[in-house]
Amino acid sequence: MKTLTVLRHAKSGWDDAVARDFDRPLNPKGHRAAQVMGRHLRDRHYRFDRIVASPAQRVVETLAGIADGYGQALAIDWDRRLYLASAATLLDCIHELADSDDQVLLVGHNPGLEDLVLSLVPDDGSAAREAVEAKYPTATIARLTWDGDWSTIRAGGATLDAFVRPRDLDPSLGPDEF
């Protein structure tokens, strides 16, 4: 059985004047959310044979926060193709994973990650899938499983075992109220 945990980067700061979107950092709420999600991964005993991530600054900072909350350093494979990747590109990257890696963490950006999860999980009316359809917030994880190799995963072929948003763990990390 293969397990793919899909993590969207934490909340980034739009107030910072950066020349490129690629260099946009996290805001304070994003830093907190990343640490909360790292503790969640640790507490749920999530283990990863491989971590593949976009090298964008907000992803780098998200994974630093995840590592802080998780309590250990993470070995990360940075893949430029994941920066703002479409679901099709993400699926190509998944198909290239080594079959010896049973549990993989994929970290990147929306809308590609949301589209990937929605394409891999059948529309079965489950509350978790409907939550993904409604919104895939920053610093949120989706955990998918399926029998077979990485190269065999296809549309509708995975089970959505978990969908956890930062606000599910700490209500202060929910949407800003206006």
Residue ranges for the known binding site are: 58
Torsion of CA 155, 128, 29, 72, to 10 degrees: -70
User: Distance between CA atoms of 108 and 54, rounded to whole angstroms?
Assistant: 5
Q: Which residue has the tokens 């065999």?
A: 152
Residue type, 69: G
Element (H, E) at 177: none
Binding-site residue ranges for substrate: 58
**Residue 59: exposed, middle, or buried by beta-carbon count in 10 A (0-12, 13-18, 19+)?**
buried
Closest-CA residue to 12 (of 177, 22, 41, 68): 22
Task: Please tell me whether residue 17 adopts helix, strand or coil conformation.
Answer: coil
Cis peptide before 25 (omega within 30 of 0): no
Q: Which two tokens stand for residue 73?
A: 């350093």
